[in-house]
Amino acid sequence: MLFQDFDVYFKSEQDKEEKLLYAFMSLEKIPDSVFWVDDEGNLSFVNEAACRTLGYTREELLTFNIRDFDPIVAGGINQNIIEYVDYGGLSLFRTFHKHKDGHLIPVEVLSTVRQLVGNKYLATSIVRDITDRVQVEEELKETYNRLEVLYNIYQATTSEKNINRLIRQAADIMKSTFEFDAFVFYIYDDYLQGPALYYTLGLPKEIIRKIEILPQYVGFIGQSLTSGFMAYSKYTEKTKIDESIKQLFLDYGFTDEMAFPIMFEQKTIGGIGLINKHNKPFKAKDKELLQAVCGQLSTVIQNLKLIHSLSKELKEHKRTAEALKKVNAELEKSAFTDQLTNIWNRRCFLKNSAIEIERSRRNKYPLSLLLLDIDHFKLINDNYGHQAGDQALIEFANLLRDNIRSFDSLARWGGEEFLILAPHLRAGNAVQYADRLRELIAEHLFQEVGEITASIGVTELANTDNIDSWIKKVDNALYRAKEQGRNRVEFNGVVIL
């Protein structure tokens, strides 16, 4: 009996029969094919899945040797499998099994081998039909090849600025993927008012001379460039193409041509033609890939043509560009700088404070805000004039800029109000900092107006604050400072000094 040579312990003959029956029933339920093969390659067991996969009955298969349906197996159990399994492993490999109707089924085989008494072997193989997987792998491989072509052409288009070298590189890349015997590349020539031959591969000189300038209906590439659509046909078929041109191609063995236009903004700017010999047709995948290549080259070729034609003009306008750059820089600066005091304006403060708030929360450091207002500034304007008032604002801003910390930010909030953004300052330290600035202002003699005092509101950023609520808090603190007699510092409306 098959199991007599195995080291399997059974309590009794009945136990043996029950366990063997259970083992066979389990193998029948496996959706993959199961084979037992002796060292001569003869089958001693197959399950129902194996019969379905190969199209034979169980009785037919049990008369087979594995070589009858596995063309890769040279005979019997592969010696490499035996040697590998001797070390306690499994063998996993791919092969083909021949169906009863003759077609080959790609399969994956998982095998283990047991040495029997008398130096004989028995292999147990679980075999899976991988037809769908192989198809997917082929599709993935084809997709990878297509993407590789497009990527390589993209690499060429980004690094190559010479149109002739670019076209040669594109042809070489396509030659590694497409199956073609000849290649033609046309670009629309503005001077000739028509497509002109730029590059060829695999064509004899006699044909090249005939197709250098491409009038309508000279070859399928001519049809494609004229119509703006893909053209694909055979030289052996009856068409509107010039018979002498068609015959010339046939004389050299060329039979099939596939051509795609290169379009830019619905205008033909060039085209690619692939030509084959000996009635070798192009595949559907070639059409799709060639169309994608033409699409990728479209913008690049148009840009290279524009670069070439505009190079002189660009040199002449270099000074203008530099001037515009300078003007733009000034405009950008003016958009974020207060024109009178030359410090941040309100817009710049709001933009940068939002960034600083996010940074302080991410890095977990305190952030305080000071709002300063020049006391009785209206009286300064009334008594000394607006020009003196402007000069006082400039001097006030300069005094603050020269005395705040290097990493603090100063902005004019509007009128005579100024904001200081102070990172890494807790509330208590921010109040002391504000009071030092208040004393500095009070002790300073301004050139045209003499002594000036300022009221200051202080607040620290809380977890619940946004930019609007934070500014409202510091504004309330400033209001309290002015209400309490001015020339003082308030923190969130609570009297500090």
Between residues 367 and 291, the one the model is more confident about: 367
Annotated catalytic residue 358: no
**2-129 homologous superfamily:** PAS domain (3.30.450.20)
More confident residue, 175 or 33: 33
pLDDT, tens digit, 9 for 90 and up, residues 435-444: 999 999 999 9
State the greatest distance between any 2 C-alpha atoms of the chain, in Å, as a whole number.
123
Q: Is the dihedral of CA 52, 57, 58, 61 positive or negative?
A: negative
- Residue 200 to residue 298: CA distance in whole angstroms: 18
Q: What is the pLDDT of residues 321-333, one digit of tens each?
A: 676 677 677 777 7
Long-range Cβ contact pairs of 165-174 (< 8 A, separation 24 or more): 166/300, 166/301, 166/304, 167/198, 167/199, 168/199, 170/293, 170/297, 171/199, 171/201, 173/149, 174/149, 174/274, 174/290, 174/293
Best CATH choice for the domain 137-311 from the list 3.30.450.40, 3.40.1190.20, 3.30.1490.190, 3.30.1370.110: 3.30.450.40
Domains 137-311 and 335-495 share a fold: no
Measure Cα distances from 227 to 208, 217, 268 in Å.
22, 10, 9
481-487 contact pairs (CB < 8 A, 24+) = 481/455, 481/456, 481/457, 482/373, 482/375, 482/455, 486/375, 486/376, 486/453, 486/455, 487/375, 487/438, 487/442, 487/453, 487/454, 487/455
Going 201 to 207 to 212 to 215, the CA torsion angle's sign is negative
Task: Tell me the residue ranges of DSSP E strands in 41-147.
Answer: 43-46, 91-98, 104-116, 120-129
C-alpha distances out from residue 6 to 9, 41, 116, 173, Å: 9, 19, 7, 60
Q: Is 495 exposed, middle or buried (0-12, 13-18, 19+ CB in 10 A)?
A: exposed
Rounded Cα distance between 174 and 176, Å, is: 5
What is the distance between the alpha carbons of residues 143 and 150, in angstroms, rounded to a whole number?
A: 11
Nearest-angstrom CA–CA distance, 292 and 260: 10
Beta carbons within 10 angstroms of residue 422's beta carbon: 23
Spot the catalytic one: 257, 356, 395, 416. 416
| Identity of residue 92 | L
Residue type present at position 104: L
Q: Which of 141, 123, 125, 121 is nearest to 133 (CA)?
A: 141
pLDDT band (50, 70, 90) for residue 144: confident
* pLDDT, position 354: 93
Percent of the chain with pLDDT over 70: 78
DSSP states of 365-408: --EEEEEEEETTHHHHHHHH-HHHHHHHHHHHHHHHHHHS-TT-
Q: How many residues does the chain have?
A: 497
Alpha carbons 336 and 488: distance in angstroms, whole number: 30
Higher pLDDT, 407 or 14: 407
> What are the structure tokens assigned to 337, written together?
């700088």
Quote the pLDDT of residue 157.
64
pLDDT digits (tens, 9 = 90+) for 277-305: 888 887 777 777 777 787 777 777 777 76
Ramachandran region of residue 98, left (φ > 0), alpha (ψ -120 to 50) or beta?
beta
- What is residue 456's three-state secondary structure? strand
Query: Between 3.40.50.11540, 3.30.70.270, 3.10.20.30, 3.30.499.10, what CATH number should domain 335-495 receive?
Result: 3.30.70.270
Tokens of 49: 């899945």
Q: What is the mean pLDDT of residues 441-454?
A: 94
Spans of all domains in the chain: 2-129, 137-311, 335-495
Decide if pLDDT at 414 tops 70.
yes
Alpha-carbon gap, residue 170 to 267, rounded angstroms: 21
Q: Say which residue the tokens 């969130």 belong to.
A: 492
267-277 and 254-264 strand pairing: antiparallel
Q: Between 254 and 11, name the one with better pLDDT.
A: 254
Q: How far is CA 470 from the centre of its chain?
A: 40
Non-local CB neighbours of 335 within 8 Å, separated by 6+ positions:
347
Burial of 174 (0-12, 13-18, 19+ CB in 10 A): buried
Mean pLDDT of 369-378: 95
Query: Helix, strand or coil for residue 468?
Result: helix
CA 321 to chain centre: 33
Q: Write the CB contacts of 451 (distance below 8 Å, at least 6 apart in sequence).
A: 442, 444, 445
- Mean local confidence (pLDDT), 415-430: 95
Classified as helix, coil or strand, 94 is strand
| Least confident range of 61-65, 233-237, 382-386 | 233-237
